Amino acid sequence: MITVKNISDYIDSIAPYSSKCEWDNCGVLVGDKDKEVKKIGFALDLTSEVLDNAKENNVDLLITHHPIIFRPVKSFLKGNLAYELAVSGITAISAHTSFDCAKGGVNDVLCDLLGITNTEGVPDEECPVPMARIGEIEPMRSSDFAKKVADVLGTACRVADGENLIKKVAVCGGSGPDDLLFSAASMGADAVVTGEIKYHIFLAAKEMGVTAIQAGHFETENPAVSALMKYINNEFNDVECVLLKQTNPTKIIG
């Protein structure tokens, strides 16, 4: 019999919960660690759409990237998604920054998609293990590289164009740390790709002659959900795995 604890222990072995950032929440967050698992659903987030799809698929366990419970709560009432998940008898595991920094995790998947090789970690004061990666690509113009990012991830990018030749790129799926640009630039990065970039970081990038590409939080992290599902599917052959439907909460208008 495969239990939630078996699945959680395996995730902990490939993306150690101890490597998460101090402010993060990873591991079994809702339900019963001893519950038998026959079917697992995977999604980036717990949303109403994901919960409905999980129920329709009769999953025993939901695995998300973003924590199902993140900030402290003072009540746990009907309508709360975590409450509704528990009432439905579905246990939940979240692997957030632990999977961001893991070998083969969010940022390694992003590097593979973008053709970035010879990678190493970019130090981050907030996390015990580097999340962001920096590596090499075949040299191309900044505008061409930005177009490649948009095409590969199926998104529209916001870009501070350094109008430079791109040979070395730093990436961080989701919301990269504020100091990512400066840490990456000190390591020789010609470009930085992340999900969210603040305006003052775009300004700084332009002044530094580094190309900064904001490619979307959902778009830069969602591909790794399929990767995590594949790892678990390969390890637990007797458990059925399904990728749950989740619609990108944002869209481009205009």
What pLDDT, in 10s, does the model give residues 87-115?
A: 999 999 999 999 999 999 999 999 999 99
Domain check: are 76 and 171 in the same one? no
Domain check: are 79 and 120 in the same one? no
Domain check: are 144 and 190 in the same one? yes
Domain check: are 66 and 38 in the same one? yes
Domain check: are 75 and 9 in the same one? yes
- Is 131 part of a structural domain of the chain? yes
Taking residue 40's Cβ as centre, other Cβ atoms within 10 Å add up to: 26
- Is 248 part of a structural domain of the chain? no
Domain check: are 36 and 76 in the same one? yes
- Is 174 part of a structural domain of the chain? yes
- C-alpha span between 51 and 227 (Å, rounded): 21
Domain check: are 82 and 17 in the same one? yes
Domain check: are 112 and 129 in the same one? yes
- What is the pTM assigned to this prediction? 0.95
**Count: domains in the chain:** 2
- Is 14 part of a structural domain of the chain? yes
pLDDT-derived band at 254, boundaries 50, 70, 90: confident
Domain check: are 9 and 88 in the same one? yes
Nearest to 68, CA basis, from 29, 105, 96, 39? 29
Give mean pLDDT, residues 31-44: 97
**Per-residue DSSP letters for the chain?**
--BHHHHHHHHHHHS-GGGS-TT---EEEES-TT-B-SEEEEESS--HHHHHHHHHTT-SEEEESS-SS-S--S---TT-HHHHHHHTT-EEEE--HHHHSSTTSHHHHHHHHHT-EEEEEPP-TTSSS---EEEEEEEEEHHHHHHHHHHHHTS--EEE----EEEEEEEEEEE--TTHHHHHHHTT-SEEEEEE--HHHHHHHHHHT-EEEE--HHHHHTHHHHHHHHHHHHH-TTSEEEEPP---S-----
- Is 250 part of a structural domain of the chain? no
- Is 251 part of a structural domain of the chain? no
Domain check: are 34 and 137 in the same one? no
Torsion, CA 84, CA 20, CA 122, CA 176, rounded to 10: 30
Domain check: are 52 and 132 in the same one? no
Range of the domain at 110: 106-217
pLDDT(127) > 90 = no
Q: Any idea what the CATH number is for the domain that residue 158 is in?
A: 3.40.1390.30
- Is 121 part of a structural domain of the chain? yes
- C-alpha span between 37 and 46 (Å, rounded): 19
In whole numbers, what is the pLDDT of the chain averaged over residues? 96
- Is 179 part of a structural domain of the chain? yes
Predicted local confidence at residue 128, as pLDDT: 87
Domain check: are 83 and 110 in the same one? no
pLDDT(71) > 90 = no
- C-alpha span between 12 and 60 (Å, rounded): 19
Q: pLDDT tens across 169-195, in order?
A: 999 999 988 899 999 999 999 999 999
